[in-house]
Amino acid sequence: MEQRYLDYFSKNIKHLCITQNVKQESLATLSKVTKSYLSKIESLTICPNVEVLLRIYKALHHELIINVNKLNKMDDDLERFHHDMVFCNKKEAKKTFEKLVAEKEKYLYSPELIKYCLFMYQCINMMGDEKGLLKDLDNYLDKLSKMIPFNNRELQVLYDCKGVYEEDRMSFKKAELYYRDAISQGNFPNVTSMVYYHQSKTLYYLNQTIDSFLANNKALEMFAEENNIIRNYYSQSHSAILYLRLKNYEKAKEIEYSLLSVSGLEQYKDKTLRNLSWCLINNSEYKTAIRILLANNGIKRFTPTSYFYVAWSYYCLNDYQKALKVNSKT
């Protein structure tokens, strides 16, 4: 077990004694150590061996996981969970999330607790907080980061998660500061690319278009290296939005047209057609936008946004009757 975890689990004994109302004398007796030795462990005056910690935690009704094979399996599960999130394999990620919620106790009393909390935080940020866990997890990670030194990769994930948390609450300046802190931690596969993508979106909302382009280009480069087709798609779509802001409609259209022919993105065809139609509308190509949206091989599932684009296009063509008819469907 790494020294940082030995220190954390030693310091945590006092907290568990308070929450369980266990006297130090009783715990010392149950765990077969002297009271003075227990005090020295809690104050980090001495470093206990793992066997002693196991006895203490067993007396406090918690099992410390130290078995190497178990820890390797837990680590593999967490890394696969993270991979599924980053590569947008939402079905598998959600299934693993439910499993990890049920196994919370096991992870929190193991050297995998930091990674567990970070990836759970990341998943909730990405997929929504149906169970109402986010605020408690945010507070827990704040406390944890003060008790255990995080390595650079862990800090990068933490700052990225906090950036997304602030961005979702429209605190874009706070979010951008977190992304800067995240980037300063170094480059890590399937982590740093996400930070640059999130930073690019925040910079867009802060009207820092050129900086947003630069961050997004970094994300695109990394997603390509990681062969992350879906994240690359999102980054390409963001590039089109940035070109729209600069009124470079031809470049925006070019990106969206190119995305229609990328293998592996069939499930995103509707979204791409909607994005393309918006590029066309911005370029006053209303008839083409309508044709693309209403074509037999076009959008399979209409959303309120799709209806609005069609209605707006008819309105701009002065065909108010059709515009009203379509708009009623929104």
Provide the angle, in degrees to the nearest 10, between the axes of the packed helices 304-316 and 269-282: 20
Q: So what's the pLDDT on residue 62?
A: 93
On whether the CB atoms of residues 195 and 162 are closer than 8 A, the answer is no
| The model's pTM | 0.91
User: Is 303 or 86 the better-scoring residue by pLDDT?
Assistant: 86
Q: So what's the pLDDT on residue 296?
A: 58
Q: So what's the pLDDT on residue 80?
A: 97
Q: What percent of the chain has pLDDT over 70?
A: 98
Q: Which helix (H) or strand (E) holds 20?
A: helix 3-20
Q: Is 37 exposed, middle or buried (0-12, 13-18, 19+ CB in 10 A)?
A: middle
Residue 86, classed as helix, strand or coil, is: helix
10-15: average pLDDT = 89
Q: So what's the pLDDT on residue 299?
A: 65
Q: At residue 241, does pLDDT exceed 80?
A: yes
d(C-alpha 55, C-alpha 308), whole Å = 65
CATH 1.10.260.40 fits 3-64, yes or no: yes
264-280: average pLDDT = 91
User: Is 263 or 213 the better-scoring residue by pLDDT?
Assistant: 213
